[in-house]
Chain A
Amino acid sequence: MKPTDISAPDYFHKVVDCQWACPAHTPVPEYIRLIADGRYSDAYMINWQSNVFPGILGRTCDRPCEPACRRGRVEDNPVAICRLKRVAADFKDDIKHRLPKPGPKNGKRIALVGGGPASLAVARDLAPLGYHCTVFDGDPKAGGMMRSQIPKFRLPDSVIDEETDYILNLGVEFKGGQRVDSLKQLLSENYDAIFVGSGAPRGRELDIPGRKEAAANIHIGIEWLANVSFGHVDKIGRRVIVLGGGNTAMDCCRTARRLGGESVKVVVRSGFEEMKASPWEKEDAIHEDIPILNYMVPVAFKLVAGKLIGVIFQKVRAEYDEKGRRNLVPSGEPDETIPCDDVLVAVGQENAFPWIEADCGIEFDKWHMPKVDPKTFVSTNPKVFFGGDAAFGPKNIIWAVAHGHDAALSIHKMLSGEDINERPLPEVHVSSQKMGIHEWSYDNDISADKRFKVPHRDKVVALKDIRAEVELGYDLKLALGEAQRCLNCDVQTVFAAPLCIECDACVDICPMDCISFTENGEEDDLRQRLKAPSPHHDQALYVSGDLKTGRVMVKDEDVCLHCGLCAERCPTGAWDMQKYLIDMVQAGSTCQSKARSAA
C-alpha cells in the first residue's frame, strides 16, 4: 500500500466515525469534552453552528452517529451522543449574545417555502449575511413537522419556540398561516432565490376494503398527529390499532395511549427486526404496554352496521430469494381479526407538489419528485432550490439541516456571482495535544463504564398528561459519566516514520493490538498479517512510509481507543496525539472566496 495521505481532509474525518456519519458533520467528541468540562454553553454553540437545533435534535434525532460510534465496536453500546446533545441544551446559560446579529441588508430577497428544519437552516445561514429571508408556512408558528408531527411528550413546545426564535430573531420574516399555493405566483414576486423546504406532507393511504365506509374511525397518522398537536383532537377509542412500523407509528401509538387508548396495538407487515422505527422508539412504545405484532398484513376493515369493529389480517412469513430480497408470502394460517374502535394508518409519507405548476421550469422524475442536484440542491430552475424531505423524500431532521446548509451555500454563491458547482474544501486544524511527558490536553484514561440510562418520568404520570415530557434527560452526574465514555476519536494518532526506531514500544502497549510492523503489501494481504484480526474493511489502515528495516508501520483504525499510550511509550516522539477539527464550509465561511462574497 502507498503511505497514507493524512493531509487529505477526509482521512482523519472518517476516523471520527460519529462526525463522519452525521449528515451535518457535528464535531461530536469536541462538544462531549466541553460537556465533561462543564462548558455547556460552548458545547451548545458548537452544535448550534453545525446542526442548528441542538435542543430539538437532542430529543428527536435519528442518531446516525450512534451506530457509527467506535465505542459500539469496542463494547456493547455506543456513547449516548444524542442525549448528551440535550445536556448541552438543558444546562447552557443564556446564549443569545453569542448568536450572530442580523447583518446589514444586502438587498437580496430569498423566499423559503415551509417553516420546517430545512428552510430554517437556510435562513439561519443566510440572514446574518444580509439576505432578506421570508419564510412561508401554512401553520401559525415555525417548526414544520417538528411542531406538528412530533408529540409534545417527546419534544415540548418550549424547546421548539426557543430554537426557532433564535433563527427568526436574525431578522427573518415569518409569514405564518400563509401556505404557498402557487410557485408561479411566488416566482412572479421577483425573489432572488426560492428555497423549497415543504417536507413530505402527505400520509400514504391504505386502500383496502372498508376504508371508505369506516372513514370516521380511520385516521392518517401524520394528519392525526398534527390535529392532536394543534388541539383539534383530544380523544380516541378505547381499542386502537396502529398500522405501520416507522417512527410515525411509534408516535401514533404512544399518543393514542395518552388520549384514552387503553388497548393500543401496533401491527406491522414485516418482522419486528426490519421495522423502520428506531430501536429506542420501539422500546419506548413497548415500555408503555403497547404490543408490536409482526408478519400481519391488513386485508380489510371489518364493519358492523356501518361502524368499524376491527381489522382483518392475513398472516405471512418472510422468504428470501437467491438475491437476498425479501418476499412476504402467506403462511397458510387462518386470517385473524383484531377488534378495535379506531385505526391509525402510518404506513409512510409521500411528497406532494400540487402547487408547482408545469410551466415553472421545474422538471419532475418518474416518481413525481423534482429533479434536484444532490450536491448543490438546485432544481432545473436555477433560482429554485430544494432541501429536506421535499428534495429526496422522507428522511429526518438532521438531513434537512444538512441539506439546508448546502442549499444556503449554493444560494450565497449564486448571488455572489460564483459557480455553485465549485464547492470549497473544508478548513482543517490539526494540533498536538501534548502538555508534558505523559500529559495530554484531553483525558486519555479510558472509562470502563457501561452506557448510562436516561431517567424517564414515572409511567403512570407520563401516560396521564400528553404534554409531560417522558424523558427527563441526564442530570449532571450521569452526563459526566456518559461524556467520559467518549473515546476522543478526534484526537488522532499521528505517526512520523523518520523518527521511528522500531523499538516496538507502541506495539507492546497498545491495548487493542492496533499497531503492526510488517513488510508492506496489498491491502487485502496486509489485513491478513496484522497483529489482530481486521474484519471491518471500511475502517482504514494507516500505513507509514518505509522504515529503516524496510518494514512499514500499519495501524488498523478500527478499534483504536485513542488512549495515547502509543505516544506516551514512544521514546522518540514518532507518535503524537493531534486534535483534528474540521470546519465544514457553510455560507459565509472564511474560505469562501472573500473578494466576491455578497455585498
Chain B
Amino acid sequence: MTYIAKPKFHHPGLKKNELGYTHRDYEGKISTLCAGCGHDSITASIIEACYELSIEPHRVAKISGIGCSSKTPDYFLGNSHGFNSVHGRMPSVLTGANLANRDLIYLGVSGDGDSASIGFGQFAHSIRRAVNMTYIVENNGVYGLTKGQFSATADRGSKSKKGVTNTDNAIDLVAIALQLGATFVARSFSGDKTQLVPLIAAAIRHKGASFIDVISPCIAFNNHAGSTKSFDYVREHNDAVNRLDVLVGREPISVDYAPGTVQVVEQHDGSRLALRKLDADYDPHDRLGAMTFLQKHAAKGQIVTGLLYVDPDAEDLHTHLDTVETPLNTLDEQALCPGSAVLDKINASLR
C-alpha cells in the first residue's frame, strides 16, 4: 500500500511497441494491495504481455469479481474497459459481454475464492461453453481480505499462519479446466515472470477458453513454513514442463535451443508458440496425458507449471452458436428485428 502516485517519469530509454507505447502506458492506478503481494507481479505480467503484443488498450475488456485478485484490474490497462462484478459472477458477466461484442479481448481476472468457492459453477460453465477469453486465477490458497482462512484450493495437510492444518481436499482448477474442455490450459507462478508473461500473451492470442492458474503467494497470510503456496515452497517444488516463446508474424525461431527440443504450435490467428521442452515425455496436445501427469505429480507434492494443454484448432462459443461476424451490439434495428415476415418464416420452420 502506498499513498503517493507512481511518478509519471519513466526511463528515457524505454522501448516502444508497434503502437508507440511503452510498457508504462499499459499501467493503471497504483496498487493498494499489501507490499510484496504476488498479485502485483501478475499485474505487471499482464502489462508486459499486452505491451509486447501491441494491444490497443481500448480493445480490451477486463472483468473481475470480488477479492484481492479482483481488485487488480484497477492496476493495469487504465485505458481499457472494465467491470467489477458481484462475487463469483465474473464468468457470466464476461460471457454476456463477449456475446454482445465479440471483437474485444476479454480478460477475466479472478481468485481462488471467487472461482473455486462462490463462483465455482460460473467458472465451470464459462469454460464448458468455450467462451473466447483469457481466464486468470490469482491463486494464493487463502482468503486474504478476511485475514487468511483456507480457501478451496489450499492443499490438504498444509498449515495456516497460526499453525492449523487443513483437513479438506483441494480443488485443482487446472484439472477441472482440462476436464471441462478448456482449449488452452497453463499454470505458472507470480515469482517467475519469464514463464508467466509469454503464457499470458499466448492465452490472449488463443481463440477459445484459455485458463491460467497462477500461484501467487499471499505475503500477509500464506508465505510461511508449512504453506504450499509460499515463495520458498513453490520455488522448491516447481516442475516446469516447458518454456514458451510467443511469436507473432513470420520471424524465424531463435536457434539457441538444442535441436529437437523445440516444438512449434501454430494457432488459428497465425501466432506461433515455440515450446522448449523441459520434460522430454510431456505432450501438450494430449488432454488425457496431461490430466494423468498432473495427478501423478500432485501426489508427489510437485507443482506442474508451463503450457499444459493447447488445442490450436479450438473453436469458441460464437462458432458453436453460428453468430454473425459483426458484433451483435453494432447490428442495427433492421438486422435485429427483421419484421414479422421473417418471424413467420422461422415459426413455420418449427412447425
Q: Judge if B249 is at the interface, Cβ distance under 8 Å.
A: no
Which residue on chain B has the smallest CB distance to residue A508?
Answer: B44
Which of A445, A533, A571 lies in contact with B11, CB distance below 8 A? A533
B8 contact set on A, CB distance < 8 A:
448, 511
Q: Judge if A504 is at the interface, Cβ distance under 8 Å.
A: yes
Contact between chains at B9 and A511 (CB < 8 Å)? yes
Near B by CB (< 8 A), chain A positions 478-537 give 501-505, 507-509, 511-514, 532-533, 535
Contact between chains at A438 and B3 (CB < 8 Å)? yes
Scan A439-475; emit 1 where CB is below 8 A from any B CB, else 0: 0000011101000000000000000000000000000
B34-42, B166-174, B178-186: which lies at the A interface? B34-42
Q: Check A568/B2 contact, CB under 8 A, given A448-B9, A512-B9, A513-B11.
A: yes
Contact between chains at A559 and B36 (CB < 8 Å)? no
Which of B2, B10, B14, B15 lies in contact with A438, CB distance below 8 A? B2
Shortest C-beta distance, B293 to chain A (Å), equals 25
Q: Check A569/B36 contact, CB under 8 A, given A74-B12, A502-B231.
A: yes
Q: Judge if B43 is at the interface, Cβ distance under 8 Å.
A: yes
Q: Judge if B260 is at the interface, Cβ distance under 8 Å.
A: no
Q: Judge if A235 is at the interface, Cβ distance under 8 Å.
A: no
Contact between chains at A571 and B219 (CB < 8 Å)? yes
Scan A367-410; emit 1 where CB is below 8 A from any B CB, else 0: 00000000000000000000000000000000000000000000
**Please, how many angstroms separate the alpha-carbon atoms of A6 and B24 in the complex?**
31
Shortest C-beta distance, B126 to chain A (Å), equals 29
Which residue on chain B has the smallest CB distance to residue A507?
Answer: B44
Report whether over half of chain A's contact residues are helix, strand or loop; otherwise say mixed.
Answer: loop
Shortest C-beta distance, B165 to chain A (Å), equals 24
Q: Judge if A572 is at the interface, Cβ distance under 8 Å.
A: yes
**Please, how many angstroms separate the alpha-carbon atoms of A532 and B35 in the complex?**
23
Q: Check A535/B41 contact, CB under 8 A, given A444-B4, A505-B36, A563-B4.
A: no
Scan B220-241; emit 1 where CB is below 8 A from any A CB, else 0: 0001000000011001000000
Which residue on chain A has the smallest CB distance to residue B7?
Answer: A446
Shortest C-beta distance, A3 to chain B (Å), equals 22
Near B by CB (< 8 A), chain A positions 517-576 give 532-533, 535, 548-549, 559, 561, 563, 565, 568-572
**Please, how many angstroms separate the alpha-carbon atoms of A445 and B9 in the complex?**
12
Shortest C-beta distance, B98 to chain A (Å), equals 29
Q: Check A513/B10 contact, CB under 8 A, given A501-B223, A505-B36.
A: yes
Contact between chains at B35 and A568 (CB < 8 Å)? yes
B38 contact set on A, CB distance < 8 A:
503
**Please, how many angstroms separate the alpha-carbon atoms of A448 and B37 in the complex?**
28
Near A by CB (< 8 A), chain B positions 185-241 give 190-191, 193, 217, 219, 223, 231-232, 235
Which of A75, A501, A508 lies in contact with B9, CB distance below 8 A? A75
**Please, how many angstroms separate the alpha-carbon atoms of A448 and B8 in the complex?**
8
Q: Judge if A184 is at the interface, Cβ distance under 8 Å.
A: no
Near B by CB (< 8 A), chain A positions 67-104 give 73-75
Which of A448, A504, A505, A549 lies in contact with B7, CB distance below 8 A? A448
Q: Check A511/B10 contact, CB under 8 A, given A505-B41, A563-B4.
A: yes
A445 contact set on B, CB distance < 8 A:
4-5
Supply 15 A–B pairs (Cβ within 8 Å), ascending by A: A73-B12, A446-B9, A503-B36, A503-B38, A512-B9, A532-B14, A548-B232, A549-B235, A559-B11, A569-B2, A569-B35, A569-B36, A571-B35, A571-B36, A572-B36
Q: Chain A residues in contact with chain B, CB under 8 A?
A: 73-75, 437-438, 444-446, 448, 501-505, 507-509, 511-514, 532-533, 535, 548-549, 559, 561, 563, 565, 568-572
Q: Chain B residues in contact with chain A, CB under 8 A?
A: 1-15, 24, 30-31, 34-38, 40-41, 43-44, 190-191, 193, 217, 219, 223, 231-232, 235
The 9 A-B residue pairs whose C-beta atoms are closest, nearest first, are: A571-B36, A533-B13, A446-B7, A508-B44, A532-B11, A445-B4, A503-B36, A571-B35, A571-B219
